[in-house]
Homo-oligomer: A and B are copies of this chain.
Amino acid sequence: MTEQQRRPTLMDVAEAAGVSRALVSIVMRGAPGAAESTRQRVLETALQLGYRADSRARLLRSSRTKLLGLVFSSSQPFHAEIVDAAYAEASARGYEIALSAVAGGRPEARAIETLLDVGAEALIIIAPTLSMDELALHARQVPVVSLLRDDVGDLVDSVSSDDHAGISLAIDHLLSLGHRRIVHVDGGTAVSSDKRRETYRTEMVRHGLQPVIVPGGPGEEDGMGAGQILQADLPTAVIAFNDRSALGIMESFRAAGISIPTDVSVLGYDDSHFAKLSYVQLSSVSQDAPLLAAAAVGRAVDRIEGSEPPGSVVRTPHLVLRKTTAQLPDAGLNSS
């Protein structure tokens, strides 16, 4: 049923309109060099035949593909937000986005290859896990922009959020509420976990406070585990590696009858969907995904079009205060 009829080509339109292929091409891409009257006629016949340019042939000929390759991880809700924003920014800049997911059994390298195969002019990789060398290798072929990771060598662009500023913001906020026993639950092996942990450590020391780091991870379960540990010697405030971890921590506290923020303040990171839920109302450090995405796309386009050298863009995150942090009642008593 419904035998797929061959889709019409430039040639078909040209014949039907009684002109040359070249002229149809000119008309279709709105280039100058066609009389208004013929232009109309050609457009009309094209519409009638349901003509639709074959992007493969088009791209093959004109070396430009106007394609931006975007590698994301299908299991990260936060990446989805970025994808969303990237689409918008790219189309505003006159580019298309080719998506490629990293999934179970589909490593980053594979995702990248696919994108290069379809002719992406630049690569945007969200939180790349490849080594600096591997990234540099690709960067020799096309501009590569690393998103959310900045230690990528100087052949690769990076757009990231200032983790140092984010953690500092969190600590300052808690300090201003009178907290002094502030603990960090880290992200284990997750990207940017190291930087957040180290910033926490140095900032605490700088303020003359004792840093305490509880091992964690990027998921709810990791937070749960850390929460158990914390209960043995409850601090007055906790800075989690991310929102999901914070959720786990809060859940473990709740199960133990510890109330938030009365007994302990909790701060998340990412300002994700969860943080905004009415029954969570988690205060969190926002990296502002749409802005990051726009910056990454902008960077990629600039690299393609201009001959700018690679560089890095760092955006400053901001605090979104909700209901999980509160003033310490008996401020300034116990310090370590």
Q: Is the CB of B103 within 8 A of A101?
A: no
Q: Is A336 an interface residue (CB 8 A)?
A: no
The number of residues on chain A lying at the interface, defined by a beta carbon within 8 Å of a beta carbon of chain B, is 55
Instruction: Enumerate chain B residues within 8 angstroms of A80, measured Cβ to Cβ.
Output: 74-75, 77, 80
| Assembled-state Cα–Cα distance A297/B104 (Å) | 17
A66-81 to B contact mask, C-beta < 8 Å, 1/0: 0000000011010011
Q: Is the CB of A4 within 8 A of B220?
A: no
Q: Which of A54-62, A171-179, A191-199, A234-242 contacts B (4 or more CB under 8 A)?
A: A54-62
**Interface membership of A251, Cβ < 8 A:** yes
Assess whether B2 is in contact with A139, with CB atoms less than 8 Å apart.
Answer: yes
> A93 to nearest B CB, angstroms?
14
- The segment from A23-31, A116-124, A207-215, A260-268 found at the interface with B is A116-124
Please tell me which one of the listed residues B59, B81, B141, B255 contacts residue A279 in the complex, with CB atoms under 8 A apart: B255
> CB distance A279 to B2 under 8 Å?
no
Given contacts A56-B59, A87-B105, 4 further A-B contacts (CB under 8 A): A56-B60, A80-B80, A118-B118, A224-B279
A residues apposed to B, CB below 8 Å: 1-2, 4, 7, 52-57, 59-60, 65, 74-75, 77, 80-81, 83-84, 87-88, 91, 96, 98-101, 103-106, 113-114, 116-119, 139-142, 155, 220-221, 224, 248, 251-252, 255, 277-279, 309-310
The contact sample of 30 A-B pairs, CB cut-off 8 A, is A1-B155, A1-B309, A2-B155, A4-B140, A4-B141, A4-B142, A54-B60, A54-B117, A54-B119, A55-B119, A56-B57, A56-B65, A56-B118, A60-B60, A74-B80, A74-B81, A74-B83, A75-B80, A80-B80, A84-B101, A84-B103, A87-B106, A88-B103, A88-B104, A91-B106, A98-B118, A220-B277, A220-B279, A224-B278, A251-B279
